[in-house]
Amino acid sequence: MPPAARITDMHTCPKVEPGPVPHVGGPVLVGEPTVQIGFQPAARVGDKLTCVGPPDSVSQGEKSVLIGNKPAARMGDPTSHGGVIVAGCPTVIIGSSAQAETLKTDEPFCEECERKRKEREARQERRG
């Protein structure tokens, strides 16, 4: 589960077009002013990011956490120029745990645990 992104958190930008000058990632420029994370406005999908080329934006975030009706941005989330957010607030973690994801997919979190559960059920059925 990655840290929450907010304005001033940096991103990378690998883009080189429209010329020989490479883009350089910079901080998140815009965030949701009504939600503060580490005393800074929270970043969300669609928020603008500083770039030497044209402005970049957050392209994906955590769909299960909405901030101002937009998915929350986190460290590691991609940007529209192909980069990623590389910093976040270490005390605010956003996203689902591996255990919660298994509940959504109905898949066992631990294959060994699932195998033992099935063995136990089979023993109980044999006993009657």
Side-chain-facing half-sphere of 79: CA atoms under 13 Å: 30
pLDDT digits (tens, 9 = 90+) for 16-63: 876 677 778 899 999 999 999 999 999 999 999 998 878 899 999 999
Model confidence pLDDT, tens digit, residues 58-81: 999 999 899 999 999 999 999 999
The token duo for 117 is 């559960």
> 42 pairs with which residues across the strands?
6, 32
DSSP tag of 8: T
Q: Write down the H helix ranges in 1-128.
A: 98-105, 111-127
Q: Which domains does the chain have, with CATH numbers?
A: 3-95 (2.60.200.60), 97-128 (no CATH)
Global pTM value: 0.73
